[in-house]
Amino acid sequence: MALSDPQTYLWLLPPLAAYLILAVLLEVIIRRLPSLASLRLPLHLLILGLGLELSFWRMPEGWTHALSPYARAILAFGAIALAIQAVEGLSVGYFMVRLRGRHVPPILRRFLLLVAYFLVATIILRAYLNLDVTSLVATSAVVSFVVGLASQDLLGSILAGVVIGVERPIVIGNWITIDGAEGKVVDITWRRTMLETRNGDTLILPNSQIMKTAIVNHALPSNLHRITMKVGVHYRHPPNSVKQAMTAAARLCPHVLDSPAPSVFLDEFGDSAIVYRLNMWINDMSVLEQAKEQVNTHIWYQFKRRSLEIPFPIRTLHRPTKAVPENTVIQETIAQLMPLLKSSELLASVPDESLEKLARRMRLETYGTREALFQENQEGDTMYMLVSGSAQVLKKMSGQEEKELAVLQPGSIMGEMSLLLGQPRAATIRFLEDSQVIRMDRQVFKKLAAEHEQFLENLTTLVEARRNENESLASMFKAKNIQTKEGRLQAVLNHIRAVLKL
């Protein structure tokens, strides 16, 4: 047959089809068993060599003699490469890394495998194909010199990649800062290192540049990282009050660690404010921006409740709006509070006059979304009324998971059992939105009890009616073996008198 006749090459179809089927089957197996991925090249070579060997019986005359050395060379290289990969996987991957916990840089492992492959390929080419690779390398010294000069940056990056793999100044998962750029290391190869920035972009750096530049590794010696924030506060506020407010704001952020504890320092006396520096610690650089934002938000609410002012700079011309008369503000507050006070069960027996006097002394306190008014089991001697917004009642169940028991609306009373009976808080109150509350302490109730005889009796009846909802109260009745309603009322009255010191 003539070589131009297509039927001359029909013998190629069976071995090619067999190779493609086996190759696809191999890839399916590797997908199901990723641990075999390192054996992909040797196995493909073995399949190719076996396919050539099996096809020799159908080859035209003369082709078998020409291709037989190549088939044997491919089979030999595939078998030896498979053995090398198996030995490397057992000795390094299993015994050293998994059993003994030693770190062997992946780059170094790949480099040693390439050297082993090169030596095996040199021997096989010499033995089966009579090719002397060393002579080819020697005769191309000039070409190698030219290529080396042209690729010296590439070679520098490759050598730097080996050093990075051995010394491990950075590893995948570290947050680093280099040349003013900050990001998380997501990949390290022979030539380059990839960072993922906070903006979601990918920064690709040659390894040679990394070795020449100062790097700040935020994961060494540990993942602890200190955040520093500065706030200017008016000169008229006592430093200790400001420090307490800023420390409380930092502790409200779930990303800020309790140990090391947040700390506040009076940093400097500025032109228009005293500058305070807040130091706090996190152990995850990915939440740095969220931590700053949350702490800044809590600082605003803490300062608002404590009437701490962040002043305008003196050099800025500030023309404040006309101040609202204080009497007008008080009247607006009274108008807002009176309907809520009148509708409260606790204050049902108090005349409107006394309620108006009470509202005149009350001050609205503002809380932010997700802020806690108080925590479960926390000691307390104050009661609160929700004026605006909403809050959820949370209680820890089995497994320390918090369950929502109720959602409170304006007019709801919170913490009355702690105020009247001196008990720890029975649940956690957390705000669902920006909200306002008024605070009532024991002095307020002591004054109302002294002025209105019926007030204390109504309190006693209301508290006794809630005995089934209050475990501590029920335990007190059981311990004193009190069975009658009159006995329970007297016990509650005595307890309230003792707490209010009447």
Domains of the chain: 6-139 (no CATH), 158-217 (2.30.30.60), 225-306 (3.30.70.100), 339-500 (2.60.120.10)
Q: Bigger pLDDT: 292 or 346?
A: 292
What is the band of 280 on the pLDDT scale with cuts at 50, 70, 90? very high
In percent, the amount of the chain with pLDDT more than 90 equals: 19
440: helix, strand or coil: strand
Least confident of 3-7, 343-347, 373-377, 395-399: 3-7
219: helix, strand or coil: coil
Residue for token digits 């096989």? 124
What is the band of 157 on the pLDDT scale with cuts at 50, 70, 90? low
Q: Bigger pLDDT: 203 or 467?
A: 203
User: For 287-300, what is the mean pLDDT?
Assistant: 94
> What DSSP letter does each residue of 172-187 carry, written as one string?
TT-EEEETTEEEEEEE
Residue 273 has pLDDT above 90, yes or no: yes
Query: What's the whole-model pTM score?
Result: 0.58
- Position 101 scores a pLDDT of 66
Beta strands 181-188 and 175-178, pairing class:
antiparallel
> What DSSP letter does each residue of 53-96 carry, written as one string?
HHHGGGSPTTHHHHHHHHHHHHHHHHHHHHHHHHHHIIIIIIII
Residue 295 has pLDDT above 60, yes or no: yes
pLDDT tens column, 120-134: 888 888 877 777 666
Strand partners, 428: 394
- Position 47 scores a pLDDT of 79
Maximum C-alpha span of the chain: 124
- Position 422 scores a pLDDT of 76
User: For 33-42, what is the mean pLDDT?
Assistant: 76
- Position 43 scores a pLDDT of 81
Check the CA dihedral 234-238-243-245 and report its sign.
negative
- Position 499 scores a pLDDT of 53
Q: Measure the CA–CA gap between 355 and 414, rounded to whole angstroms.
A: 18
Mean pLDDT of the chain: 78
Q: What is the CA radius of gyration of the chain?
A: 39
Residue 2 has pLDDT above 50, yes or no: no
Is residue 306 a contact partner of residue 367, using CB atoms and an 8 Å limit?
no
